[in-house]
Amino acid sequence: MAFQNLVNAVFQGGADDFQSIAPWGSAGDGGNDGYVRSSGHYLQVYGPKAGSNWSPAVAAKKSEDDFQKLLNKWNGLNRYSFVLNDRFQGVPGPVEISLQNIQKLYGVDADSIACAQLTDRFTDLKEFEMMEIVGGVPGHQPTFIDKRKIGELLEHLANKVSPNGLSSKGLAPDFDEKIEFNGLSDAVGARLRANSYQDADVTGFLNVRGQWLAEGIAQELRDLYAESKSTIIDLEDAADLRYVWMVGKVIPESAHAHPHSFKAFHGAAEVILAHFFEACDVYDKPETSSRTA
């Protein structure tokens, strides 16, 4: 119920004519946990209890059964969304296959809304609407909590055991040109290349968590790079020093307490910088004219 209440609050903020539906009698809610009247967009919410081992097959069957209830009891069905508390792990294949089959058989738009998409909808709300949902941010938080957006990605990478060896991933066409353009040494360039081969760990996490987090981390790194340019100037190896300085700034203070934690977070920080270096969110990007001249 807590998850369903959250879904209702987010959709009520995003659509004036959203109506949540409460179960009634033995008929329940007819497969309808809430809908947008003007567009005929119906929701069915599935939020397994925290700590439970829920089955993707059970979730897929529920998506099918509730759709059939909607067809039999409700009018104007144009879009069906199965809202799933996937705990930021991704929507299981059986659920997506079920929704694809519904769309093919009945000609109704059918999709899933997982935690990442729900978070995107939440961040699109007005500030006062977000505050009403979460109740405001506590004024005093423990010092060991990393409040930065990059903190979530750091924690994930630092605790993840990545396979050894290089992947077959290719670098962006201007990767080496960008290294040269920014005056980075061969040593730092080699570190960026090596760490870029763990890019799948970064992209996989960000794809599940949602675009809002990727954009937030990119902005934090852009601000950090701008600060490094104003902090480290007029030095022959300024570009390399900025790289070392940024890695140090990305690592949370709490990681300095233990050498193993520091090593894990240091490696995670370099993987993140390599990802956003390739995406042109840190360091300067060569002008197009310089590549085509």
Out of 71, 101, 134, pick the residue that ends a domain.
134
N- to C-terminal Cα separation, the chain = 61
Say how far apart CA 121 and CA 42 lie, in whole Å: 16
Residue 98 lies in a domain: yes
- Over its C-alpha atoms, the chain yields an Rg (Å, rounded) of 23
Residue 184 lies in a domain: yes
Q: Would you state the pLDDT for residue 291?
A: 43
**Pair (277, 161) in one structural domain:** yes
Residue 143 lies in a domain: no
Find, among 231, 237, 148, the residue nearest to 187 by Cα: 237
Q: What tokens were used for 232?
A: 């480290």
pLDDT tens digits in sequence order for the chain, 293 residues long = 889 999 999 999 888 899 999 877 556 678 899 999 999 999 999 988 776 778 899 999 999 999 999 999 999 999 999 999 988 888 999 999 999 999 999 999 999 999 989 998 998 999 889 888 887 666 665 555 677 889 989 998 998 866 554 555 667 778 889 999 999 999 999 999 999 988 888 998 888 887 888 889 999 999 999 999 999 998 889 999 999 999 999 999 888 888 888 999 999 999 999 999 988 888 888 875 444 43
Q: How far is CA 142 from the centre of its chain?
A: 24
**Pair (78, 177) in one structural domain:** no
The whole domain housing 9 covers 2-134
**Pair (160, 130) in one structural domain:** no
C-alpha distances in angstroms, 245 versus 169, 204, 293? 28, 27, 33
Q: What tokens were used for 112?
A: 């899933």
Residue 90 lies in a domain: yes
| Number of structural domains found in the chain | 2
**Pair (187, 115) in one structural domain:** no
Q: Do 63 and 43 touch, CB atoms closer than 8 A?
A: no
Residue 207 lies in a domain: yes
Q: Would you state the pLDDT for residue 229?
A: 93
